[in-house]
Amino acid sequence: MDDDGRYQPLRPDARGWLWSETLELWLGTWSGIIQREPAIWLRFYDRDGNLVPLPEEAALALAEQERERAQRAERLAAQLRELGIDPDVRSS
């Protein structure tokens, strides 16, 4: 909208995406699967063109990071045990 509250049409960029000053996001197409439905979807992208994850995607990514962190911690604990150090004993 302009200063008078009137709608101003958005102009697509070379990709066909629309920039929203209000949201500070791009609106563009994305080809993929959402809820087991393959299609071309409208999705938000940040200022740099990175896809903004859906809540389900963000939760899956966080769970994967946590799983990787746990695996890394277990590998480090195994290495400590090989050195004769019990990683479960806390020193004071």
Q: Where are the domains of the chain?
A: 1-52, 54-85
Give one word for 87, left, alpha or beta, with left for phi > 0 and alpha for psi -120 to 50.
alpha
Examine the pLDDT at 60 and tell me if it is beyond 80. Answer: yes
pLDDT at 90: 80
pLDDT > 90? residue 9: no
This prediction's pTM? 0.67
Give the pLDDT score at 45.
98
In this prediction, residue 1 carries a pLDDT of: 65
Q: Specify the pLDDT at position 13.
A: 94
d(CA 12, CA 7): 16
Give the model's pLDDT for residue 10. Answer: 87
Q: Kindly state the helix (H) or strand (E) to which residue 30 belongs, with its residue range.
A: strand 25-34
CA contacts within 13 A on the Cβ side of 70:
6
In sequence order, the β-bridge partners of residue 45 are: 26, 51
Phi, psi (deg, nearest 5) at residue 72: -65, -45
Q: 53: Cβ–Cβ under 8 A, 6 or more apart, which residues?
A: 61
For the chain, the farthest-separated pair of C-alpha atoms sits apart, in whole angstroms, at: 74
Residue 31 confidence (pLDDT): 96
Average pLDDT over residues 50-76: 95
pLDDT at residue 89 tops 90: no
